[in-house]
Amino acid sequence: MITVVAILGLEHSGTTLLARMLGTHSAATSVGGIKNFAAFASGKKACTCGGSWGDCDFWSAVDEALEAAGRSSRDVGSAIGSGAEGGPSSRQAAQDLVRAISSATGSKILVDSSRDPLWVDMLDGATDIRTVRVHIFKTPYEQMASAKRKNRSTYKELRKYNRRSRACRRALASHDGGITIPYGAFCGAPEGFVSQIMRAAGAQLEPEQITGWGLTPLHMLGGNRMKRETRSTIRYDELWRDTLSSGEVLLARLIAGGSLRRNMDSSSRG
Ligand SMILES: [Zn+2]
C-alpha cells in the first residue's frame, strides 16, 4: 500500500515548508506537485535540484519505472496535463505516476503538494493507494498582503481564499483522518503537527524533520524555491499589519472572515 500525503491549500500558505519537513523523513519522498509533471516532462519546469527533464537522476529513475510498467512519460505527462477534466485516463496516469515514483524510490510514503483538492481526488479508487489529506491555511490578511506585495489583485486573492478553503474542507470531510493546520500555530510548534501527519501515514516523527529539513536536497516539482534554511528561519509572518491599510483589513474581514472562522473550526475538530 502506498500512502500519499496530499498537502492542500493556497499558494504561499506554508505548503512548500510543510512538504519539505515531511520529505526529510527517511521513509518518505516529497515530490512537489504531481500536477506539475506534465510541464516538467515537456521541459517547461525544472526540479528543485536545478535539473530539468533528462538531467535529474531522480526523475530519470521515475521515467525508467514508468517504462518498466509499460507507460511512457510523455503519455503520462499529457494525460496528467489535462487534469481532473481528463477523466479516467488522467486518473490512471496520476495513479501510475504515483506507483512509478514509489517503485523508483522504494518509498511507501509520498508527499504531494499539488495543493488543489481536484488532484488528490484523482488518486481515489485505486486499491493500492491511500491518501492522508492535510489542509494548511494562513489568514486572509496574510494572503491578501502577500498578493499586494506581488502586485496581484487583492480582491481576486480573497475570492480565491474562499473558493479554495471551501474545496479543501470538503476534500477533508469526504475522507477519514484529515488534518487541518493553521499556519500560525504550525510555526509556533511544528513538531506536533508533523508528528500527527507521520502517524497518520504510519510512521514516527524523526528529529531531522524539524531541525534539518532545509539540509536534505529534494526533487520537488513546482512550489516556491526555498533556500536551504533551518528552524530559526521559520517564523510567523506578521508583515500584513504593515502592508494593509485599515480599509483593506476591513474588506478582508468582510469577504473572507467567514472562511477563516470555518477553517479554524475544522482545525480544532481535527
Ligand atoms: Zn531533481
d(CA 66, CA 50): 22
Distance 60 CA to ligand 1 centre (A): 9
C-alpha pair distances (Å), 5 with each of 58, 59, 81, 97: 19, 19, 21, 15
For residue 61, the Cα-to-chain-centroid distance in whole angstroms is 22
Q: Who has greater pLDDT, 27 or 12?
A: 27
**In the predicted model, what is the mean pLDDT of residues 118-142?**
94
Residue 162 has pLDDT above 60, yes or no: yes
**In the predicted model, what is the mean pLDDT of residues 186-209?**
95
How do residues 227-266 score in pLDDT, each as one tens digit? 555 444 566 667 888 999 999 999 999 999 999 999 999 9
- Please tell me the predicted confidence (pLDDT) of residue 223: 62
- Please tell me the predicted confidence (pLDDT) of residue 84: 73
Q: 203 is written with which cell numbers?
A: 510512521
Per-domain residue ranges for the chain?
A: 2-139+178-235
- Please tell me the predicted confidence (pLDDT) of residue 165: 98
C-alpha pair distances (Å), 12 with each of 43, 50, 136, 218: 24, 21, 10, 19
How do residues 57-113 score in pLDDT, each as one tens digit? 999 999 999 999 999 999 999 998 887 777 889 999 999 999 999 999 999 999 999
Distance 162 CA to ligand 1 centre (A): 34
Q: 101 is written with which cell numbers?
A: 515514483
Distance 59 CA to ligand 1 centre (A): 6
Residue 36 has pLDDT above 60, yes or no: yes
Q: Who has greater pLDDT, 204 or 225?
A: 204
Distance 54 CA to ligand 1 centre (A): 10
d(CA 31, CA 76): 16
Distance 1 CA to ligand 1 centre (A): 25
- Please tell me the predicted confidence (pLDDT) of residue 232: 45
Distance 230 CA to ligand 1 centre (A): 21
**In the predicted model, what is the mean pLDDT of residues 192-214?**
94
How do residues 41-65 score in pLDDT, each as one tens digit? 988 889 999 899 999 999 999 999 9
Distance 267 CA to ligand 1 centre (A): 34
Distance 217 CA to ligand 1 centre (A): 9
Distance 32 CA to ligand 1 centre (A): 11
- Please tell me the predicted confidence (pLDDT) of residue 268: 87
Distance 29 CA to ligand 1 centre (A): 12
Distance 30 CA to ligand 1 centre (A): 11
% pLDDT > 90, the chain: 74
Q: Who has greater pLDDT, 8 or 236?
A: 8
Position 12 confidence tier, pLDDT thresholds 50, 70, 90: confident
Residues with CB under 5 A from ligand 1 (ion): 47, 49, 51, 56, 58, 219
Distance 53 CA to ligand 1 centre (A): 9
- Please tell me the predicted confidence (pLDDT) of residue 116: 92
